[in-house]
Amino acid sequence: MDKKLQENMPIYMQIMNRVRGAVASGELAPGERVASVREMAADFEVNPNTMQRALNELEREGLLVSERTAGRFVTMDRKLIAQLKREAAEDAADAFRREMLALGFSEEEMIEFFCRRCESVEFMEERIG
Amino acid sequence: MAMTGERKLKLVENPPVVEIRDVTKDFGAVRALDHVNLEIPEGRIIGLLGPNGSGKTTLLKILAGFYAEYEGEVLIDGHKPGAFTKARVAYLPDKDGLPENMMVNDIINIYRTFFDDFDEEKCRRLLEIFDVRPTAMPKEMSKGVIDKLQISLLMSRNARLYLLDEPIGGVDVEARQHVLDLILENFNPQGTMIIVTHLVRDIERLFDSVIVLKKGKVECFEDSDVLRGKYGGTLEEAMCEIFRG
């Protein structure tokens, strides 16, 4: 999980996004125990109350589940995780489409460009090793 | 519904650490605090911000028990600032309040004698982290090292209320992060910390909320993230907007 945050927008929301991303990508596995508020606050270098708020909100969304004494865990609800991942992918795709439209690409052109770009990126990565 | 029950439980907060009711403080013709009202809960790290002369240090000193004369009422855990509260308030003044010609070892001994809540082992550990020698004396120290010594002494107390006046003013930029990490790691959630600073940018992640003073009045007491959202920027940018308005 990327621990770098910006100070120019609500910090708890940024933390929520990082945790959502980690769950969507599988970096945090379903049912995995998450670190304590104190540990995570130290990790992200934020106030423990800010961290508490972020984790509480994620609990309200159902992404994290609190077990009274054992701590906090990632949900086992794979449907919810799949939905989260789809929403994140939709956002990424929408942003791409928006920016390409702004550059004057038609949808057909942007798909073609995207495919060609992927090939050349792969090619470059292979060459650089 | 089970949900509602749970919500209600979370709303039950412990009584505030600090209650300030209609406090006014004059220095001759100058009004330093002007009808201030505040209720400060426990478990917070609060930035006390405002331009020069807005009353920040005066407020801190009243809480620390340095000024006995003011209008209105100040309560710390239900008691007026005095002998009882001094035992549970840890205060770090902006100008060095440490004896110049005394070794760190001896200063530690004084702290142990004066404060029942002082954790000597912790203090020695912190000083080691900061590379402050136990045989050094404040008169030989740079401003930054004195800051580190003071913060170590302060954080080693198990207090209810921590008052810090410009704690990192003399600490260089690289060491600042160190000091902040140390404050976060050693923060006692049964206590509350009020930090006066003009270096908002460097430590804004430390604050869960901020109190803004302007000409002796409370301009706002608000959650940091609420301010970031409302002003669409950093706390520092929000402060600029508030002071300008």
Kindly report the CATH number assigned to the domain that includes residue A35: 1.10.10.10
Q: Does B215 touch chain A (CB under 8 A)?
A: no
Residue A45 lies in a domain: yes
Residue B192 lies in a domain: yes
User: Which of B4, B178, B225 would best serve as a mutation to test chain A binding (most A beta carbons within 10 A)?
Assistant: B225
Q: Which residues pair with B38 in a beta bridge?
A: B20
What is the pLDDT confidence band of residue A129, given thresholds at 50, 70 and 90?
low
Residue A83 lies in a domain: no
What is the pLDDT confidence band of residue B181, given thresholds at 50, 70 and 90?
confident
Q: Write out pLDDT tens, residues A71-103.
A: 999 999 999 999 999 999 999 999 999 999 999
DSSP code per residue over chain B: -HHHHHHHHHH--PPPSEEEEEEEEEETTEEEEEEEEEEE-SS-EEEEE-STTSSHHHHHHHHHT-----EEEEEETTB-SSHHHHTTEEEE-SS--S-TT--HHHHHHHHHHH-TTB-HHHHHHHHHHTT--TT--GGGS-HHHHHHHHHHHHHTB--SEEEEESTTTTS-HHHHHHHHHHHHHH--TTSEEEEE-S-HHHHGGG-SEEEEEETTEEEEEEEHHHHHHHHTS-HHHHHHHHHH-
What is the pLDDT confidence band of residue B5, given thresholds at 50, 70 and 90?
very low
Is residue B11 pLDDT above 50, yes or no? no
Residue B119 lies in a domain: yes
User: Which of A8, A45, A53 would best serve as a mutation to test chain B binding (most B beta carbons within 10 A)?
Assistant: A8
Is residue B2 pLDDT above 70, yes or no? no
pLDDT at res. B94? 65
> What does the pLDDT average to over B118-138?
94
The verdict on A72 and A16 lying in the same domain is: yes
Is residue B226 pLDDT above 70, yes or no? yes
Inter-chain CB pairs, A–B, below 8 Å:
56
Q: Does A12 touch chain B (CB under 8 A)?
A: yes
What is the pLDDT confidence band of residue B8, given thresholds at 50, 70 and 90?
very low
| Domain ranges, residue A115 | 91-128
Instruction: Pick A45's closest partner by Cβ from B44, B180, B201.
Output: B180
The verdict on A27 and A64 lying in the same domain is: yes
List of residues 6+ apart from B245 with CB closer than 8 A: none
pLDDT at res. B168? 82
Residue B4 lies in a domain: no
Residue A52 lies in a domain: yes
The verdict on A70 and A98 lying in the same domain is: no
Is residue B6 pLDDT above 70, yes or no? no
Is residue B4 pLDDT above 60, yes or no? no
The verdict on A59 and A106 lying in the same domain is: no
Is residue B7 pLDDT above 50, yes or no? no
Residue B212 lies in a domain: yes
Count: domains in chain B = 1
pLDDT at res. A128? 63
Residue whose entry in the numeric block shows the structure tokens 């301009």: B219
| Interchain pair A48, B226: CB under 8 A | no
The verdict on A25 and A59 lying in the same domain is: yes
Indicate the average pLDDT of chain B: 89
Kindly report the CATH number assigned to the domain that includes residue B180: 3.40.50.300
> What does the pLDDT average to over B215-228?
95
| Interchain pair B234, A13: CB under 8 A | no
What is the pLDDT confidence band of residue B96, given thresholds at 50, 70 and 90?
low
| Domain ranges, residue B216 | 13-244
What is the pLDDT confidence band of residue B13, given thresholds at 50, 70 and 90?
low
Residue B195 lies in a domain: yes
For residue A90, give the amino acid letter: E
Is residue B79 pLDDT above 50, yes or no? yes
| Interchain pair A10, B226: CB under 8 A | yes
Residue B6 lies in a domain: no
Using an 8 Å CB-CB cutoff, list chain B residues near A13: 225
Residue B202 lies in a domain: yes
Q: Which of residues 32-61 of A touch B (CB under 8 A)?
A: 41-42, 45-50, 53
Is residue B9 pLDDT above 50, yes or no? no
Smallest Cα distance from B8 to chain A, Å = 15
Name the residue of chain B whose CA is nearest to A52's CA: B208
Residue A85 lies in a domain: no
Is residue B1 pLDDT above 70, yes or no? no
Q: Write out pLDDT tens, residues A103-123.
A: 999 999 999 999 999 888 776
| Interchain pair B204, A13: CB under 8 A | no
Is residue A47 pLDDT above 80, yes or no? yes
What is the pLDDT confidence band of residue B198, given thresholds at 50, 70 and 90?
confident
Q: Write out pLDDT tens, residues B52-68.
A: 889 999 999 999 999 99
> What does the pLDDT average to over B6-21?
69
Residue B2 lies in a domain: no
Question: Where is pLDDT greater, at B221 or A129?
Answer: B221
> What does the pLDDT average to over B113-139?
93
Count: domains in chain A = 2
Instruction: Pick B233's closest partner by Cβ from A8, A11, A12.
Output: A8
Name the residue of chain A whose CA is nearest to B237's CA: A8
Q: Does B229 touch chain A (CB under 8 A)?
A: yes
